[in-house]
């Protein structure tokens, strides 16, 4: 089989998998589409099976149904972003490994969809990007997260060194006003710029243009932290890491899989940590799920971590007792 044939076969298999994964979602969404299809441009009001000229029913093609579903979901997401009524943030603790103290949180987006229930970022963000809503969605997340940090400060639950991590859309860096907008938001809420850490993927930072670099430099000049998210899944190399305009690196969970169980994994993680430190950066280890992983990261000299072992993403009210205590118990 030629390389072209293999590539075509793989793409066909990917499409089949996507269709299978969305089959159950399509069944649940059909009832919602019946009532909403009239509002979709160029879509018949009744999505029920049509009749062919000879009177037999013809089922609607799966791909057409998927397109109609995504159009409907995109419009619902547009409304949710405009009103903020069904978008919510949960917050996952980021802890200092030495004493399990809470040094900050990461804001994670959720969408309480009236039909499909609570949707996570991996379902929301691709849809937002496809519909051109990603800047609006991430701007809502930033405003809400900074507002929550301000509220915690007023309640005495977050000190001046407490940090809020927010995932940033690369397109936001294309605005010359973005850094000024973030500064104004921080000033209006009483949050210090150094309490904000904006996370971007390696690809977004490495492949950015001059305007991206200008925005990143402006953010860093304000004292706002910039962090590589999911380090180890893309462009990770010494040459890139040395010249990226960032302060911190969040190491992907895949790099610590098996840590505390496989001896060779400890040597690998130690090498990654040494590389990051040699570039003058700090590391946050994400995806810590076991006591063994946490203990080995401490032994190797890791400083910061987050993961289910320390705490799952939670609504603000549920997290407040932990913030009041100031640390996470590790007797799990």
Residues 232 and 91 in one domain: yes
Averaged pLDDT score across all residues of the chain: 82
pLDDT for the residue numbered 299: 95
Tens of pLDDT, residue by residue over 54-109, are 444 444 566 777 788 888 888 999 999 998 889 999 999 999 999 999 999 999 99
Residue 317: give the domain boundaries.
87-325
Phi, psi of 184 (to 5 degrees): -65, -40
140: left (phi over 0), alpha (psi -120 to 50) or beta: alpha
Q: Which residues contact 306 (CB under 8 A, 6 or more apart)?
A: 92, 93, 94, 95, 106, 284, 285, 286, 288
Contact between 153 and 183 (Cβ < 8 Å): no
Give the count of domains, the chain. Answer: 2
Q: Check residue 196 and report its DSSP letter.
A: E
Residues 132 and 263 in one domain: yes
Picking from 321, 325, 319, the residue whose alpha carbon sits closest to that of residue 90 is 319
Q: Would you state the torsion angle of the CA atoms of residues 166, 236, 122, 196, taken in this order, to the nearest 10 degrees?
A: 0
Whether 140 and 30 map to the same domain: the answer is no
221-276 pLDDT tens trace = 999 999 989 888 765 556 677 777 888 999 999 999 889 888 899 999 999 999 89
As a whole number of angstroms, the distance between CA 308 and CA 216 comes to 30
Digit-coded pLDDT (tens) for 298-324: 999 999 999 999 999 999 999 999 999
Residue 196, in any domain of the structure:
yes
- In percent, the amount of the chain with pLDDT more than 70 equals 79
Could you tell me if residue 9 is inside a domain? Answer: no
Per DSSP bridges, beta strands 163-167 and 196-201 are parallel
Whether this model's pTM surpasses 0.85:
no
Q: Are residues 38 and 170 in the same domain?
A: no
Asked whether residue 24 falls in the same domain as residue 165, the answer is no
Write out 216-280 in H/E/C secondary structure. HHHHHHCCCEEEEEEECCCCCCHHHHHHCCCCEEEECHHHHCCCCCCHHHHHHHHHHHHHHHHCC
Report the length, in residues, of the chain.
332
Average pLDDT over residues 163-176: 91
The answer to whether residue 13 scores a pLDDT higher than 70 is no
Cβ neighbour number for residue 208 with a 10 Å cutoff: 19
Same domain, 221 and 111: yes
* 70, 147: one domain: no
Q: What is the CATH number of the domain that holds 232?
A: 3.20.20.450
- Three-class secondary structure assignment of 54-86: CCCEECCCHHHHHHHHHHHHHHHHHHHHHHCCC
Looking at residues 186-202, what average pLDDT do you find?
A: 94
Instruction: Please check whether residue 2 lies inside any domain of the structure.
Output: no
**Band of residue 34 on the pLDDT scale cut at 50, 70, 90:** very low
Whether 69 and 215 map to the same domain: the answer is: no
Q: In terms of domains, do 182 and 256 share one?
A: yes
Same domain, 144 and 94: yes
In a domain? residue 53 = no
N- to C-terminal Cα separation, the chain: 52
């Amino acid at each position: 089989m030629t390389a072209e044939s293999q590539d075509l076969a793989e793409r066909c298999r990917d499409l089949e998998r996507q269709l299978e994964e969305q089959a159950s979602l399509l069944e649940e969404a059909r009832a919602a589409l019946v009532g909403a299809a009239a509002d979709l441009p160029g879509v018949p009001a009744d999505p029920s099976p049509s009749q062919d000229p000879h009177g037999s029913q013809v089922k609607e093609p799966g791909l057409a149904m998927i397109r109609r579903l995504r159009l409907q979901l995109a419009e619902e997401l547009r409304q949710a972003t405009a009103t903020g009524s069904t978008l919510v943030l949960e917050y996952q603790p980021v802890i200092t490994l030495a004493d399990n103290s809470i040094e900050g949180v990461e804001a994670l987006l959720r969408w309480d969809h009236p039909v499909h229930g609570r949707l996570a970022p991996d379902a929301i963000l691709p849809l937002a990007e496809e519909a051109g809503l990603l800047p609006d969605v991430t701007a809502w997340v930033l405003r809400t997260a900074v507002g929550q940090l301000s509220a915690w400060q007023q309640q005495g639950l977050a000190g001046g060194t407490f940090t809020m991590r927010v995932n940033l859309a690369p397109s936001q860096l294309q605005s010359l006003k973005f850094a000024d907008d973030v500064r104004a938001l921080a000033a209006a809420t009483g949050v210090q710029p150094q309490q904000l850490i904006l996370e971007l993927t390696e690809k977004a930072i490495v492949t950015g243009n001059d305007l991206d670099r200008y925005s990143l430099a402006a953010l860093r000049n304000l004292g706002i932290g910039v962090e590589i998210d999911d380090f180890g899944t893309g462009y990770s190399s010494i040459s890139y890491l040395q010249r990226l305009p960032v302060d911190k690196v969040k190491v992907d969970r895949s790099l610590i899989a098996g840590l505390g169980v496989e001896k060779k994994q400890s040597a690998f993680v130690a090498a990654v940590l040494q590389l990051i430190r040699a570039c003058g950066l700090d590391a946050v280890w994400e995806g810590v799920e076991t006591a063994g992983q946490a203990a080995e990261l401490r032994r190797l000299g890791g400083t910061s971590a987050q993961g289910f072992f320390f705490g799952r993403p939670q609504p603000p009210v549920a997290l407040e007792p932990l913030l009041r205590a100031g640390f996470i118990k590790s007797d799990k």
